[in-house]
Chain A
Amino acid sequence: MSAARNAGGRRAVIAGVATSDYPKLPEMSEHAVHGQAADRALADAGLTMADVDGFASTGFFPMYATGVAEYLGLHPTYYDETNAGGASFEVLVEHAAYAIEAGAAEVVLITYGSIQLSQMGRRLGTGGGGGAGFAPGPAIYDALWGNTLVGNYALAARRHMHQYGTTAEQLAAVAVTMREHAATNPQAQEREPITVEDVVSSRLVADPLHKLDCCVISDGGGACVLTTAERAADLGVTPIYVLGAAHATTHHMNLSAMADLTVTPAAQCGPVAFARAGITPADVDVAQLYDSFTITVVLTVEDLGFCAKGEGGAFVEDGGLGVKGRLPTNTDGGGLSACHPGMRGMFLIVEAVRQLRGQGGATQVDGATIAVAHGTGGMLSTGATVVLGSEAP
């Protein structure tokens, strides 16, 4: 990936990306969502299923990727289904880049598909965890208290407010900016403009997080295709280079095992990814940051080094994440407004690539050449950073 690691050798690039239809797919199977996104991403790269020798995906049961490969009729000689929750697809892109640069694969297709909205309704995040059977082994310790997915992020938000004076209005600013971006995205699940007042006066789900501090719950998917820069040139497609990537984990389901609720795994993997890419945060033109909740974004901009720890609230205020702001972020409207089917990481990759190709539409960041996609999974448990560039390193 980096010039130092790969002097004169094969260079991994993203040659094709696509989203499936979203946010509501009541007449599609989960696997059909994978297939639709795969067809579109391969077409975007000028490739077909017959060209694919590597495949990656992940979902909520073992051997998931092999099952999707079977559904798609693929017989790959490289496959990967690393599950890091919401950060999974950043990890899968990182692994695929390594595989291509090592010569283990020529064309890696990565797909995501989910119909959680049609399957489960709107209870996800506050509906599970009802019994000990849901929490095997050590995951039991935090599973006895009626805490919810939202509650875990609320605990982090409360602590950040306590340590740094972050306000509910600052968190709300994240949701407001994401909605502004979503308003320009015809597919977005929520497009009506909202104000900071709307967010802080929406129903509390788990103090201090309100309903509008939480992501939408959607159906949808996406796909990307990685190959070598050489192959991309032959295909005549615009290559987007994987400049550097890294991932980290600090705990699994037990938030009580997280040393500092204000410091996420992004603080570990972000600097490593930037170093591998040979960039600093100041070089980043556009960011796609996992926004399961507003607090997730505030923590991530700090941990990736876009501002100092504790200054995330001020950083995201006053349109700081807008297209003309300090760090244009989630230009498709993000998980807070556009689409969040459960593991949103693929959408971050797709939108980052579109921005670097100049295909960002109304939210295109002028002259963007370096983008960061950062996924966050579990209970702030996993982080994965991918640095992408439109220019060869």
Chain B
Amino acid sequence: MTSPPPDAATTTAAADERPPKPRPAPIPDHDSAPWWQALHDGKLLVQRCDDCGQIQLYPRDRCLACRGPVHFVEASGRGRVYSFTVIRQNYARPFRDWIPYVVALVDLDEGPRLMTNLVDCDPDDVTIGMAVTARFEAVSDQAGIALFAPAP
């Protein structure tokens, strides 16, 4: 799985001689480094509270519910679309080269919500509630991202 989507070249309005700009990569910090590294390695993690069992994202140093200590556990990579939009105007590179593309909020089966891009589907076919699964893409030596595609 690579980005931008395959139809990007045909929808770019003006010729741009510059080489394609890569996806932005996050700068891992103490809270997030294991999470980004796991995505790089093809695993989606969530945090679970040692004290109350609350499951959360994004990665934080303590539990949002009870301030207890948290540890990472692997998630299923499955979820459902909570909402979505099709971006049809964005002047910033690299995104403008992808237009139109789908930005979605996905509720993981484990509970937490993630923003993502939906790939491998026509923007016109996306619906709220649609089942999706994670597709991993490395964006740096220390970080990957979870894109989502319709569940098989």
Residues of A within 8 A of B (CB): 123, 126-132, 137-138, 140-148, 150-151, 154-156, 158-159, 162, 203-209, 254-257, 261
Contact = CB atoms under 8 A, between A and B. Distances in A.
The list of the 3 closest CB pairs from A to B, nearest first, reads A146-B95, A130-B92, A154-B85
Nearest to A162: B128
A144 B105 contact: no
A132 B103 contact: no
Contacts of B145: 144
A295 B50 CA distance: 40
A155 B83 contact: yes
Given A146-B98, A159-B128, A254 B58 contact: yes
Interface string B105-116: 100000001111
Nearest to A150: B89
Given A140-B26, A140-B27, A143-B24, A151 B103 contact: yes
Contact of A158 (B29, B58, B84, B93): B84
Interface in B40-56: none
Contacts of B89: 126, 148, 150, 203, 205-206
26 contacts: A126-B89, A126-B90, A126-B91, A127-B90, A127-B92, A128-B92, A130-B94, A142-B115, A144-B24, A147-B85, A147-B103, A147-B115, A148-B87, A151-B87, A151-B103, A155-B83, A155-B105, A159-B128, A162-B83, A203-B89, A204-B86, A207-B86, A254-B115, A255-B105, A256-B113, A257-B58
Given A138-B58, A155-B105, A206 B27 contact: no
B117 interface: yes
Contacts of B83: 155-156, 158-159, 162, 261
B54 to A, nearest CB: 14
Nearest to A163: B128
A204 B92 contact: no
Nearest to A158: B83
B123 to A, nearest CB: 8
A98 B27 CA distance: 41
Contacts of A150: 89
A142 B32 CA distance: 14
B67 to A, nearest CB: 17
B72 interface: no
Contact of A155 (B29, B84, B91, B95): B84
Nearest to B86: A207
Contacts of B139: 144
A127 B86 contact: no
Given A128-B92, A130-B92, A142-B115, A155 B58 contact: no
A143 B23 CA distance: 11
A129 B85 contact: no
A199 to B, nearest CB: 16
B99 to A, nearest CB: 9
Contact of A145 (B103, B123, B128): B103
A151 B89 CA distance: 9
B88 A203 contact: yes
Given A141-B58, A155-B103, A206 B116 contact: no
A130 B88 contact: no
A65 to B, nearest CB: 30
B132 to A, nearest CB: 14
Given A140-B27, A158-B128, 20 more contacts: A130-B94, A130-B95, A145-B103, A145-B115, A145-B116, A146-B101, A147-B87, A148-B87, A148-B89, A151-B87, A155-B83, A158-B85, A159-B83, A159-B128, A204-B86, A206-B85, A207-B123, A256-B115, A261-B83, A261-B105
Nearest to A142: B115
A206 B86 contact: yes
Contacts of B88: 203-207
B73 interface: no
Nearest to B25: A132
Contacts of A256: 58, 105, 113-115
Given A126-B90, A137-B29, A146 B85 contact: no
A313 to B, nearest CB: 16
